[in-house]
Chains A and B, each alone.
Chain A
């Protein structure tokens, strides 16, 4: 059974810092990994999708890396801003299907 863990559960940083969010998964036989952002009381916004053949993906100030062999992914946020404050979730598909198993999320607060 796939288990996805995110550390830390919560993070508070001053504006401008670069930061790293961690995601680990127990079954390395994944096809891809997706990072989401969730604002309080809102749905999920897809940030980055990394296919298993890729090592990383970049979108603006976000960079996500994937190391299948070690069962880890990281989301790097450069020059953090207060608007980045949200919960960040990573998710991997269950088996060969599209059903996602989510990590517990990292709740990020960026202080002005």
Chain B
């Protein structure tokens, strides 16, 4: 089945130790997103890739970076995790043709990676 896969499902890191979260998709979607969801809060968009174009949200800390080496994979790098970065990180994908303004298809989410910072 076509899907969005996130690895690992649970990640524990130490304060200040860089960590990378992985997302892959078999949907062949051109748009990939990273959201941060803290406990009992709504998901908050960090950034997204439209094809190879990286789009950062204005309030996303510099501590968060992303890479998309190909259509299928997207990585979230946290350079120096702080205690406040402990959260669920959700990857999502969608297909956007760009031909029609506002053309928008469903976003499909992965199962998430729960990050714990010690």
Interface residues of A (CB under 8 A from B): 4, 31-32, 34, 36, 41-46, 49, 52, 89, 93-94, 96, 98-100, 102-105
Does the CB pair A46–B102 fall under 8 Å? Answer: no
Q: Chain A residues near B88: list those with CB within 8 A.
A: 41
Does the CB pair B90–A98 fall under 8 Å? Answer: no
Given A99-B48, A104-B41: A44 and B109 interface contact (C-beta under 8 Å): yes
Please tell me the number of chain B residues within 8 Å of chain A, measured between CB atoms: 29
Q: How many A-B residue pairs have CB under 8 A?
A: 62
Q: Chain B residues near A96: list those with CB within 8 A.
A: 101-102
Does the CB pair A93–B90 fall under 8 Å? Answer: no
CB contact list, B77-94 vs A, under 8 A = 88, 90, 92, 94
Q: A88 to B21, alpha carbons, bound, how many Å?
A: 26
Q: Chain B residues near A93: list those with CB within 8 A.
A: 102, 104
Q: A32 to B96, alpha carbons, bound, how many Å?
A: 14
Which chain A residue lies CB-closest to B96? A98
Does the CB pair B42–A34 fall under 8 Å? Answer: no
Q: Output the least CB separation between B72 and chain A (Å).
A: 18
Q: Output the least CB separation between A9 and chain B (Å).
A: 9
Does the CB pair B111–A98 fall under 8 Å? Answer: no
Can you identify 14 A-B contacts, CB atoms within 8 angstroms?
A4-B42, A31-B104, A32-B104, A43-B4, A44-B43, A45-B109, A49-B105, A52-B102, A98-B31, A98-B96, A98-B104, A99-B57, A100-B43, A105-B42
